[in-house]
Structure 1
């Protein structure tokens, strides 16, 4: 029986071999990360009137019949327009055993484009969550919020992890881990996970982030290190140690702390309490084992924060706690770690836009 924890890469491979994960096109080795599997877009997108969940009694196909406006062929690349909602069937499907659940998240580069992507399932009542025993297809809802994008079949916008039994680390276990292998620079703020704050007093200069421009061209997701950041982003500078967030605006900021995910842990970024302000850290996703870990080529890596302000202008201060990392136990040691055996775009990162923009 599998030890409780998040499944490692070789355990994900075993699921593929035994039919727990299947696909209409063979799964490529590069899709398998230390603790997650990248999911691929199928050939068609459906423009829908509104975001939806299937609900316990219905399938996604049932709901598409209710809300579909038109069909988009993704072959050769197609534009998904800013402000519109699309549903795309994925190439992969799952057959989970009892006791195992799955959770999905946007990949790092997708979150940094303010591209809202959420996995939905047949009979599902939550986004990005797959219940134990689920046997069926996967779909992704895509809503470009800052930039229209060009997508094509086979591209990987989302990733999924697999949880066997109880995986969450208690605060006491997290403190013990930090004492053994420091997981953050400085004194940890531990309460239902590891708190992290925003850096608005950089060691050099006064560039603290970027704000998405409201009227831009499209971003082709196939083009890497290609776009001039100045065409899509306004730099945010401050000498005061604070900035004012504008309602509806999207910002890329960076954590003050350098974060470490040891080899036998994974982590998921969660929003902080709503009471701290009218903003939220965007869907920032999973952190694989080895992120920021010294033996995997890191010395602590900053967390990039995808921030959207809501109802009212809000003053964000240096060192203000804006989110938390929820650490989880791994079920086994991964064969590869983030940043060492696999090519990792963001190991040792600081303030950094997605890989589609020139450095």
Structure 2
């Protein structure tokens, strides 16, 4: 593939489709019709996964060469398999990459994955960093899966993470603080420990009361307990302009002793009037660390970083259907309405 001179930025869906046609993004099976999003590609689990003793980075070796040091057992995903909470797994993906010079990639968990407290990270051969794929990479990609609170059922074809492809050195346009909303009656949910298994392909198939405890307003404050997982909402609406995409920083020590937002990508058109979604809030997936932390209404808990696209996407977020466009405080798509 020969790149013509163009602005540096994130590639929109029509360019991603061209990369698939040109063999830059490859797959062991044809892509699903809805797999390419306005500024990213959903990645699908392959046929096999492996339970491992520890997470790792391949660095000077391939992912599979390094796997032999920590593997415990193999799992056939063709009929579905349970990924148990507190365990770490490596799974192959159906997609692979043949990036030319000038193109790199970055992955993040899908929003539905993060809202189920499943920590996932992309791995590529010879990499010394999770989620980032270097310019010109040619080879397979894998996903590390580490369910935290809930055990989950997944199978070949389940989509846990997504990939953005970038041209050149993409500038950071600006950042936006994201405060938490602790007003009104219901302000969030806390995950119940020792709950059942969540089937990650079963939409609207689980009773939220079996998995979540509702949290109610208490003088505009919420005490976060160490090791617990919370679903909260942003104080203000989130808007992603049609020529931009955003990522919410997963860890920002300057805003508190907690981790915010596993699922970092916000696609162009989220929360916009053009996509008929004004007022959309950001849903925050929050885990407190070593010490209890008292959160106050409006307190900054995360920051959005905005980056440019190289051109306007042919379809905006939510225009072909979305579980989360126009959202307020909302659990993942796997749960029935409360």
| Mapping for residues 137-216 of structure 1, pairs under 5 Å | 137-171=140-174, 193-202=175-184, 206-216=185-195
Question: Counterpart in 2 of 1:128?
Answer: 131
Contact 1:272 1:322 in 2 (8 A): no
Task: Write 1 or 2 for the structure with the bigger share of helix.
Answer: 1
Shift of 1:167: 2.3
Give the Cα–Cα distance (whole angstroms) in 1 for the partners of residues 36 and 252 of structure 2.
Answer: 33
> TM-score scaled by structure 2?
0.96
Task: State yes or no: 1:31 paired with 2:45.
Answer: no
Shift of 1:100: 1.4
Shift of 1:27: 1.5
Give the Cα–Cα distance (whole angstroms) in 2 for the partners of residues 225 and 267 of structure 1.
Answer: 28
Question: Counterpart in 2 of 1:265?
Answer: 244
Query: Helix, strand or coil: the match of 2:69?
Result: helix
Q: Identify the match of residue 353 of structure 1 among 328, 331, 337.
A: 331
Give the Cα–Cα distance (whole angstroms) in 1 for the partners of residues 323 and 280 of structure 2.
Answer: 12
Contact 1:291 1:300 in 2 (8 A): no
What is the root-mean-square deviation of aligned Cα atoms in Å?
1.1
Question: Counterpart in 2 of 1:283?
Answer: 262
- Partner deviation per Cα, 1:230-283 (whole Å, 9 max, x = no partner): 100011112310011000000000000101111111101114641332112031
- Partner deviation per Cα, 1:86-125 (whole Å, 9 max, x = no partner): 1001000001111211000111100000001110010011
Question: Counterpart in 2 of 1:48?
Answer: 52
Give the Cα–Cα distance (whole angstroms) in 2 for the partners of residues 89 and 123 of structure 1.
Answer: 16
Shift of the 228–296 alpha-carbon distance from structure 1 to 2, 3 Å rule, reads same
Question: Counterpart in 2 of 1:344?
Answer: 322
Q: Identify the match of residue 106 of structure 2 among 103, 106, 111.
A: 103
Shift of 1:4: 1.4
Give the Cα–Cα distance (whole angstroms) in 2 for the partners of residues 317 and 26 of structure 1.
Answer: 48
Where has structure 1 moved over 4 Å in runs of 4 or more? none
Task: State yes or no: 1:252 paired with 2:231.
Answer: yes
Shift of 1:77: 1.2
* Ranges in structure 2 where 5+ consecutive residues have no aligned partner: none
Contact 1:271 1:322 in 2 (8 A): no
Give the Cα–Cα distance (whole angstroms) in 2 for the partners of residues 21 and 28 of structure 1.
Answer: 14
Shift of 1:28: 2.2
- Partner deviation per Cα, 1:6-39 (whole Å, 9 max, x = no partner): 0010100111111111111112231100000000
Query: Helix, strand or coil: the match of 1:160?
Result: strand
Query: Helix, strand or coil: the match of 1:153?
Result: coil
Question: Counterpart in 2 of 1:80?
Answer: 83
Question: Counterpart in 2 of 1:59?
Answer: 62
Query: Helix, strand or coil: the match of 1:110?
Result: helix
Task: State yes or no: 1:6 paired with 2:10.
Answer: yes
Give the Cα–Cα distance (whole angstroms) in 2 for the partners of residues 220 and 75 of structure 1.
Answer: 14
* Ranges in structure 1 where 5+ consecutive residues have no aligned partner: 172-192
| Mapping for residues 312-351 of structure 1, pairs under 5 Å | 312-340=291-319, 342-351=320-329
Give the Cα–Cα distance (whole angstroms) in 2 for the partners of residues 213 and 272 of structure 1.
Answer: 23
Give the Cα–Cα distance (whole angstroms) in 1 for the partners of residues 172 and 62 of structure 2.
Answer: 34
The number of aligned residues is: 333
Moved more, 261-270 or 23-32: 23-32
> TM-score scaled by structure 1?
0.91
